[in-house]
Amino acid sequence: MNSSRCWVVLPAAGAGRRMGGSIPKQYMCIGDHTIIEHTLFRFVNRDDIAGVIVALSQDDPYWVKSCFSTHPNICRVTGGIERPHSVLNALNKLMEIASPEDWVLVHDAARPCLRESDLDSLIESLYGHDVGGILATPLKDTLKKGDSGRKITKTIDRNGLWLAQTPQMFRLAKLHRALVKALDSQQIVTDEASAMELQGYQPLIVEGHSDNIKITRM
């Protein structure tokens, strides 16, 4: 391995409107811990993770109650309007404290079920890669396209189709530059790989498990 470190970025500034709850979904509890705490447990005790940057809403009243709010390896930054703005704010902080060649793993705060083996596989597969890549699972169900009236208009060939997950792992400087260019040109990016693709990169797919779910609805 080279001397590059790995950092984690957790965009968590969203209000979780699709969940329909009274509090943001990342602060809903599963057992004794909130969803975001379960997610953070996946990273904070690993020797190969240098630190975690959590992007939160400026007026977030819940984080101070978290068991991680004063953790020495976790830094809070203010999030943005949408996910890419939050990620970029976190990357701006990392540009101050990390090397441009360090790796950044961007992970959804509402994906608390990430397997340690999948995280190991992602880091091991990408550490020497030129571009970086993402965890994903192959599409196994039949895919249908519907119209505005929910009538099927087409069955789509699922061969070669993957469901993107997180973490998504890229070099700090390259990802920072890709997100800046995407936002400056008002390109719609729903994940970090999309921003990298717009710059001509071809991220690698690392197969993960389907239980790495993103919690979006109650």
Q: What is the pLDDT along the chain (218 residues), one digit of tens a residue?
A: 457 899 999 999 976 555 456 789 999 999 999 999 999 999 999 999 999 999 999 999 999 999 999 999 999 999 999 999 999 999 999 999 999 999 999 999 999 999 999 999 999 999 999 999 999 999 999 999 999 999 999 999 999 999 999 999 999 999 999 999 999 999 989 999 999 999 999 999 999 999 999 998 75
The verdict on residue 216 lying in a domain is: no
The verdict on residue 177 lying in a domain is: yes
Phi-psi region of 76 (alpha: psi -120 to 50; beta: other; left: phi over 0): beta
The verdict on residue 100 lying in a domain is: yes
Extract the tokens encoding 89: 């704010």
Report yes or no: 119 and 126 within 8 Å, Cβ to Cβ: no
Report yes or no: 213 and 111 within 8 Å, Cβ to Cβ: yes
| DSSP SS3 for 19 | helix
The verdict on residue 197 lying in a domain is: yes
pTM above 0.75, yes or no: yes
Write down how long the chain is. Answer: 218
Q: Could you give the CA distance from residue 95 to residue 6 in angstroms, rounded to a whole number?
A: 13
The verdict on residue 217 lying in a domain is: no
Nearest Cα to Cα of residue 13 among 67, 90, 73, 103:
90
Q: Please classify residue 205 by burial: count the beta carbons closer than 10 Å to its beta carbon, then call 0-12 exposed, 13-18 middle and 19+ buried.
A: middle
The verdict on residue 212 lying in a domain is: no
The verdict on residue 38 lying in a domain is: yes
pLDDT at res. 167: 98
* 168 secondary structure, DSSP code: E
Look up the CATH number of the domain holding residue 51: 3.90.550.10
Report yes or no: 88 and 81 within 8 Å, Cβ to Cβ: no
Q: How many domains does the chain divide into?
A: 1
Alpha-helical regions (H) of the chain: 35-41, 83-97, 116-126, 172-184, 192-198
Q: Could you give the CA distance from residue 174 to residue 178 in angstroms, rounded to a whole number?
A: 6
Q: Longest C-alpha distance within the chain, in Å?
A: 55
The verdict on residue 202 lying in a domain is: yes
154 lies in which domain range?
6-207
- Residue 93 has phi, psi (to 5 degrees) of -65, -45
Does the CA dihedral 18-79-9-190 come out positive or negative?
Answer: positive
Q: Could you give the CA distance from residue 102 to residue 132 in angstroms, rounded to a whole number?
A: 11
pLDDT at res. 17: 53
* Measured CA angle at 4 (ends 3, 8), to 5 deg: 145
Extract the tokens encoding 194: 């999309």
pLDDT at res. 1: 42
